[in-house]
Structure 1
Amino acid sequence: MIPAGPDAVRAVADRYLEDKAALDPETAAVLGHEGAAPVPDLSPEAFAARADLDRRTVAALRDAVATTEQVPAGDRRLATTMVERLGSDVDLYDAGFTTTLLAPLATPVHAMRQVFDDLPTGSDEDWARIADTLDSVPAGLAAYTRTLEQARAEGRRFAPRQALGLARQCRSWVDPRGTDFYGSLVARHDGALAGRLGAAAQAAAAATAAFADYLTTDLAPTATAPDGVGREVYEVTSRAFLGATVDLDELHAYGWEELRRLDAESRSLARSITGEADLDRALAVLDGDPSGQVEAGEPLVRWLQDRIDRVAAHLDGTHFDVPAHTAPVEARMVTAGSGVMYYAPPDHALTRPGRVWWSVPAGTAALPTWREVSTVHHEGLPGHHLQYAVTLGLDDLHPWQRHLCHVHGYAEGWAHYAEQVSVELGLLDDPRERLGMLYAQMWRAARIVVDMGLHLSLPVPRGNGFTEESTWTPELAVDFLHRVAGVDPQTAQFEVDRYLGWPGQALAFKAGARLWQQARADQEQRQGADFVLKRFHRQALELGPMGLGPLQELLLAEDTGTNGDAHE
């Protein structure tokens, strides 16, 4: 029974965490529950239980707001944020998206593998926990297989591209001739637990290989859905990823407009840097300059860490106030190739720092740094790490907001906005790095037109300036990303496979950044000479993570940061 009164909303949120902890190890960790297995239950029963809890909580929150005479401003924001997020999760479950997820990088199988990246290894107790976690991998994969089988029995859609792509990734993790992730992990321990760890690693690897076989020989042959999901599903998924309902056709047109603008600016800048009128020749000159390259491997990690540290020193106290206890961030190399770079925030107890995980295409000997700087800003500071560092330092937020509210549009939108704001904050060393920033924007604009074109079967506009083809195909999308946005072919292939398995997520970057830009422009116009960029960033981030719809309302409200009634 939820008590009535001004604390009703917070009481509902507290009850939600307690109930969710029994179904989700991340929530259990937030509450400090000891001994919780880090691998979640991936059975169809567990997915249904989580969706049912979300439904009940949405209803309880709405009832608490409706029947409470005076809801504190912070609790009203909490209720609005939770209703939008949990409601979106329910919509994804009802659409069959949650229980059919096979997209590169994004499945529960990936989350299970990535658990091991952040488990400590400093003591025998730590290694015993790793052994316990390894023991849970076969059961976790078996449970997810049951979930996929139930979804198939219900007639849910599966595309063969996604099933086969995930199978290839799983095999790459356990290939004894290649990564052998689990074997390499336990080989770092030579103590008394070596035997148990070795057996557990072999069992985890065997289960992973068996799951790959299931995807290839059982699921994929019966997966007949087209790559594109269509407008009905896309409206659900894009709304969930963004946390907002947007005009898809207007956004699609905006993507093409941005491509044309950025292409013209990039060509002009490349010509001014190199003197080469031909863009391909200009880029070849920049990529071939030995002074602008860094070797893959440990030299790259050192370069990344140095760049992150320099940016942090430049920003902290001047442009942002980063809480000291959440400020540290580390650069790491991905040991089991994920295909992209990603950020992992600090754990809930702050026993390890935030980490920027980096991977490079197979066979890469060196990278031109001008292409990489914008990604450093996106994943580190002032992007993902800064946003998490601020969020985790906000003690007035409810624990669900601080640790468990994940919105792609909010987080990726901020990180992409951060790439662009890096120019005015003085974070780019020379014009080559500015060109890299423009190409990062090109990539995100290309994501909009590619993702929407593939999933919604939109025609390629005539006279677009980039391709004479009229119909999107995965092959055209890969070529488009490579030629237009400068993405290397291997990454471009991975990107397209990811878009097709994660419909609408690609919008989060450019559409999210657009929101931040629009909200800032509105504040600048309203405040005039009184506008202070540091204050705007602080007020916006201190609202905490939420869907872009609620965030836009708050950012555009009078006296942002103090007006708690923006959602009434």
Structure 2
Amino acid sequence: LSGHATAAAEALVALRGWLGEVYGPAAADAPDTVGRERYGRWVRYWTGADLDLDEAYSWAWQEFHDLLAQMRTEAEKVKPGADPMQAMKWLETDGPARFGAEAAREFLQGLMDGAIADLQGIHFDLAEPITRVESRIAPAGSAAAPYYTAPSLDFSRPGRTWLPTLGRERFPEWDLVSTWYHEGVPGHHLQLAQWNYVADRLSTYQVSLGGVSANLEGWALYAERLMDELGYLTDPGHRLGYLNAQMMRALRVIVDIGMHAGLDFPADSPYRPGERVEPDAAREFFGTYCGLSTDFLDSELVRYLGLPGQAIGYKLGERAWLRGRAAARAAHEARGEVFDLKAWHMAALSQGSLGLDDLVAELSAL
């Protein structure tokens, strides 16, 4: 194992050198964007859908304006007279927080245990193995953002959420709550653990390599919204954290499609209306309306340029889940039936991974 690890590290160093010394200079005069035709193929890869890029771009701007209005309302509750960015900065430095990694881990474990206890039997019908999920501290060198790892197929290893500490001792609550509804319960954990539980009814591909990013991230963002709908985000700070996460995902759609498809900021944009969405402008626009760190936002722009089409799947995936739920509810009511949200959730979580085009159709028929 040590020999292979050393060889892998050496190969990575060699790749890094080639990218910086050979590929980078050769690509220096290339455009920063992919172009509409190639971008459409990347979108298909990440979302499993042939999207109308102009419609998705326009829809994301509607979401932007709606979210900005909601954020202003919550910011006023957090700190009277503050705008959203000022309120989030205050929450980050002076708002409620957990001190020490173990205290933060226990807080997050309590969030997930409490969500399972409250949702079980009412909004979900979870098998016993799925009710076990662990909050862990991420090892040094892990990703800078929180993440989730699914349980083993036999559940001998439970699902786990991971909190990177990055040398911190203070962990503000405001953006952790909705993040753990996303990463843990009822987000990634319920979907991926349920796929494992019903693996005998699905193909191995459906529960493993066949995962479609927009389906997975769309469910997790839907899970955050569900907890808001159920009244779990009434604390102004927690709700502002949720809205900021939603805003980040809406901005991703705007920036990613705008850059790669060569679009302009629309006439009703509060930032540079009528100007082209270029990388430098996209970064400044993102930082103006999203309360996350400079380093994180810098890495986000690199992500969009390097993985065209991936980041739009969160918000557009959530839209697909919401459209499927609305269509299923309408169909039940048209037949004079009561829409059973618990049954719909469990049926939806038991069908394995689907692309967004198929997902909406399948969810609507449940």
Distance 2:272 2:132 in 1: 44
Residue 464 (str. 1) matches residue 269 (str. 2): yes
Q: Is the 8 A contact 1:348 1:403 kept in 2?
A: no
Distance 1:440 1:358 in 2: 17
Distance 2:231 2:268 in 1: 37
Q: Secondary structure at the match of 2:201?
A: coil
> Any idea what the Cα deviations from partners look like across 1:64-116, whole Å, max 9, x if unmatched?
xxxxxxxxxxxxxxxxxxxxxxxxxxxxxxxxxxxxxxxxxxxxxxxxxxxxx
Distance 2:304 2:88 in 1: 27
> Match for residue 550 of structure 1?
358
> Match for residue 131 of structure 2?
327
Q: Is the 8 A contact 1:478 1:492 kept in 2?
A: yes
Residue 541 (str. 1) matches residue 360 (str. 2): no
Residue 438 (str. 1) matches residue 306 (str. 2): no
Please, what TM-score do these two structures have when normalized by structure 1?
0.59
> Match for residue 174 of structure 2?
370
> Match for residue 4 of structure 2?
136
Residue 419 (str. 1) matches residue 287 (str. 2): no
Deviation of the 1:359 alpha carbon: 2.8
Residue 479 (str. 1) matches residue 347 (str. 2): no
> Match for residue 184 of structure 1?
none
Deviation of the 1:247 alpha carbon: 0.8
Distance 1:277 1:326 in 2: 42
User: Aligned Cα RMSD in Å?
Assistant: 2.3
User: Aligned partner of 2:104: which letter?
Assistant: L
Deviation of the 1:296 alpha carbon: 5.9
- Evaluate the alpha carbon distance shift between residue 502 and residue 281 of structure 1 in structure 2; reply closer, same or farther with a 3 A threshold: closer
> Any idea what the Cα deviations from partners look like across 1:451-495, whole Å, max 9, x if unmatched?
111111211123312445823233332332222021221111111
Distance 2:294 2:352 in 1: 37
> Match for residue 189 of structure 2?
385
Distance 2:143 2:315 in 1: 22
Q: Secondary structure at the match of 1:294?
A: strand
> Match for residue 489 of structure 1?
294
> Match for residue 228 of structure 1?
33
Deviation of the 1:549 alpha carbon: 1.4
- Evaluate the alpha carbon distance shift between residue 349 and residue 221 of structure 1 in structure 2; reply closer, same or farther with a 3 A threshold: farther
User: Aligned partner of 2:20: which letter?
Assistant: T
> Match for residue 23 of structure 2?
219
> Match for residue 345 of structure 1?
150
Q: Which runs of 4+ in 1 moved over 6 A?
A: none
Which residue of the other structure, out of 131, 136, 141, is the alignment partner of 1:336? 141
- Evaluate the alpha carbon distance shift between residue 399 and residue 261 of structure 1 in structure 2; reply closer, same or farther with a 3 A threshold: same
Q: Is the 8 A contact 2:264 2:274 kept in 1?
A: no
Residue 512 (str. 1) matches residue 320 (str. 2): no
> Match for residue 114 of structure 2?
310
Q: Secondary structure at the match of 2:148?
A: strand
Deviation of the 1:424 alpha carbon: 2.5
Deviation of the 1:235 alpha carbon: 0.7
Deviation of the 1:363 alpha carbon: 6.0
Q: Is the 8 A contact 2:153 2:197 kept in 1?
A: no
Deviation of the 1:503 alpha carbon: 0.6
- Evaluate the alpha carbon distance shift between residue 366 and residue 462 of structure 1 in structure 2; reply closer, same or farther with a 3 A threshold: farther
Q: Is the 8 A contact 1:327 1:389 kept in 2?
A: no
> Any idea what the Cα deviations from partners look like across 1:300-342, whole Å, max 9, x if unmatched?
3332222222222222233212222243222232421423222
Q: Tell which deviates more after alignment, 249-258 or 457-466.
A: 457-466
Q: Is the 8 A contact 1:137 1:207 kept in 2?
A: no
Q: Secondary structure at the match of 1:229?
A: coil
Please, what TM-score do these two structures have when normalized by structure 2?
0.90
User: Aligned partner of 1:135: which letter?
Assistant: G
Deviation of the 1:294 alpha carbon: 2.3
User: Aligned partner of 1:508: which letter?
Assistant: G
Distance 1:279 1:547 in 2: 35
Pairing 1:32-431 to 2, within 5 Å after superposition: 131=1, 134-137=2-5, 141=8, 204=9, 206-224=10-28, 225-290=30-95, 292-295=96-99, 297-332=101-136, 333-359=138-164, 364-394=168-198, 395-428=200-233, 430-431=235-236
Q: Is the 8 A contact 2:218 2:316 kept in 1?
A: yes
Q: Secondary structure at the match of 2:157?
A: coil
- Evaluate the alpha carbon distance shift between residue 337 and residue 480 of structure 1 in structure 2; reply closer, same or farther with a 3 A threshold: farther
Deviation of the 1:349 alpha carbon: 4.1
Distance 2:315 2:142 in 1: 25
Q: Secondary structure at the match of 1:514?
A: helix
Deviation of the 1:249 alpha carbon: 0.5
Distance 1:439 1:289 in 2: 18
> Any idea what the Cα deviations from partners look like across 1:388-423, whole Å, max 9, x if unmatched?
111111132223323332101111111111110111
- Evaluate the alpha carbon distance shift between residue 138 and residue 215 of structure 1 in structure 2; reply closer, same or farther with a 3 A threshold: farther
Q: Is the 8 A contact 2:89 2:291 kept in 1?
A: no
Q: Tell which deviates more after alignment, 332-341 or 483-492.
A: 332-341
- Evaluate the alpha carbon distance shift between residue 453 and residue 425 of structure 1 in structure 2; reply closer, same or farther with a 3 A threshold: same
Deviation of the 1:283 alpha carbon: 3.2
Distance 2:286 2:239 in 1: 19
Q: Is the 8 A contact 1:409 1:548 kept in 2?
A: yes
- Evaluate the alpha carbon distance shift between residue 262 and residue 367 of structure 1 in structure 2; reply closer, same or farther with a 3 A threshold: same
Q: Is the 8 A contact 1:326 1:389 kept in 2?
A: yes
Distance 2:17 2:209 in 1: 33
> Any idea what the Cα deviations from partners look like across 1:147-200, whole Å, max 9, x if unmatched?
xxxxxxxxxxxxxxxxxxxxxxxxxxxxxxxxxxxxxxxxxxxxxxxxxxxxxx
Distance 2:192 2:131 in 1: 9
> Any idea what the Cα deviations from partners look like across 1:117-163, whole Å, max 9, x if unmatched?
xxxxxxxxxxxxxx2xx433455x5xxxxxxxxxxxxxxxxxxxxxx
Report the structure number with the largest CA radius of gyration. Answer: 1
Q: Is the 8 A contact 2:63 2:250 kept in 1?
A: yes
User: Aligned partner of 1:465: which letter?
Assistant: P
Task: Point out where structure 1 has 5 or more consecutive residues left out of the alignment.
Answer: 1-130, 142-203, 561-568
- Evaluate the alpha carbon distance shift between residue 138 and residue 247 of structure 1 in structure 2; reply closer, same or farther with a 3 A threshold: same
Distance 1:489 1:411 in 2: 27
Distance 1:237 1:432 in 2: 36
Q: Secondary structure at the match of 1:530?
A: coil
Deviation of the 1:432 alpha carbon: 2.0
